[in-house]
Amino acid sequence: MRTLAVATALAVSALTVTPAVADTTPYLPRPTGSHPVGVTSLSLKDTSRPDPWVPSVPYRELMVSVFYPATSAHGPAKPYMTPLESERNLEREGIPGLSLDVLSTVRTNAVVDAPAAGRRHSLPMVVLSPGWTQPRAVLSGLAEDLASHGYVVTVVDHTYENRATTFPDGHVTGCAACEVDDQPGFWEKLAGTRAADTSFVLDELTGPHAKWRGSTLIDPARVGMAGHSAGGANTLQAMLADPRIRAGIDIDGSTHVPLPASGLSRPFLFLGSKDFYTPGTPNPYDDWETDWTHLTGWKRWLMVSGTVHSSFTDLGPLAGQLGVDVGASLGGDRALAVTRAYVRAFFDQHLRCRPQPLLAAPSPAYPEVSFIR
């Protein structure tokens, strides 16, 4: 099932952990680019609007992680999650034999606050948005890889839409939006909230009073966006709301809020799981069929065999390392490698103007990937 209401996690109930594998320390696969990767965390506060999910909070506060090419790989690696964040994300899964704090032990490849590399306005930027109830951490493997190839990558935690977001002063927010996700108009509100979050983050990173000291490296004319599940679906809405986003990707996210008849003329990619798609029959990608007709610019629709919803995030490889079976026949490392390759090719073509044969036709290097449209 690929609806946005599905909360992606390491597994579903009744799955068990293989003890021999569970004893290993989980890690993110190494980035494939030539640049060391740095990362910094930013706490941003939008005082122009109250929080949409907790109206008693008179502002919208966000945590973002900014990954970027660095001059050095020496220094402390970024923690993946705090123990509390790990616990809150895993406690609902009930996976026997899996420690609830295990995600706080994941080894990453990004060095905290490493010096950034690049010339003024030389680096394209990609905004990444996670799925419904998911933290920004689960897109770290994709973010690290893009940064190693010379991108600034900003991964956004949408506050009160996931199980735990930790702020610098120590307070931790939970999923207030989870209490109303069955109400009419919820998905429209979610899409509007995330679009506003994205525009605010762009203001804070590329505007005249940028909050990141490396912001001068960003080329504000070359901004893209991608997301998984709800984050991917809402990329369409963010692009409609903000013309600064030149190209976008929906990674396995049902679009509960359809595109308007006026459509979207900027480049867009759908990337999903072929195993759940059968043309001509009801399936989780029916809304992609509708939106496809309203995409009037460059577009592709690609499907990956052997994947499940979590395969496109860090949870695929981490599940394999921890001995958790998520039901995918394609290995987690391979699924992440495929995701990295096609996401990077898309942004290389549309933000760097480098034609990509990978997007022109099926590739023998990636036989799992089918061109649907």
**CATH assignment at residue 168:** 3.40.50.1820
Provide the residue count of the chain: 373
Does the structure show a pLDDT above 70 at 1?
no
Three-state SS string over 333-356 comes to HHHHHHHHHHHHHHHHHHHCCCCC
Domain around 193: 19-371
- C-alpha 276/C-alpha 370 separation (Å) is 13
Q: Is residue 5 part of a domain?
A: no
User: What is the pLDDT at residue 275?
Assistant: 83
51 part of a folded domain: yes
Q: What is the mean pLDDT of the chain?
A: 92
Whether 97 maps to a domain, the answer reads yes
Domain contains 365: yes
Position 1 in a domain: no
19 secondary structure, DSSP code: H
Nearest alpha carbon to residue 126 among 139, 113, 112: 139
**Residue with tokens 């919820």, as numbered in its chain:** 186
Q: Convert the pLDDT of each residue in 193-225 to its tens digit.
A: 999 999 999 999 999 999 999 999 999 999 999
pLDDT tens track for 312-341: 999 999 999 999 999 999 999 999 999 999
Examine the pLDDT at 3 and tell me if it is beyond 80: no
In a domain, 141, yes or no: yes
- Please tell me the total count of domains within the chain: 1
Question: Does residue 11 form part of some domain?
Answer: no
Is residue 2 included in any domain, yes or no? no
Three-state SS at 312: helix
Query: Quick one: residue 74, left, alpha or beta (phi over 0 = left, psi -120 to 50 = alpha)?
Result: beta
